[in-house]
Amino acid sequence: MTRVDRIYAEIRSNLLGTLPNFGFALQVDETSGPFGSRYVEFHCEERAVRFLWDGREGWFLLGYCIDLSVEPSPKWEDLYFKKVDIRHSDNEIYEDVERSLAIAIEDLKEKLEGV
């Protein structure tokens, strides 16, 4: 398991344990995208949370949408975005990603408590 795989699995697990407490249910769990890309998406009525690893571009994204019904395209707010050069083995980079994503999830929880 690569460092990216482990970070993705940990954050996915965190979201699976946290978001149902706010009424969100898992809607998409895509694990076989091109270049190792994968994402999970949770919905609660018209709101959504998405966590994504883009293997081609090399970035993590945690996003929040307050209204999926907006046409033609709902607006997503980036709660966390970080490009990671997977060729680097620098532990500090991955530790920063893990810490920053944990903080972003705490910020998300505060946002959801206010709804």
Domains: count for the chain: 1
Contact 105, 18 (CB under 8 A): yes
Q: Which domain range does residue 64 map to?
A: 3-113
Q: Beta partners for 36?
A: none
- Of all residues in the chain, what percent carry a pLDDT higher than 70? 97
pLDDT-based confidence at residue 84 (cuts at 50, 70, 90): confident
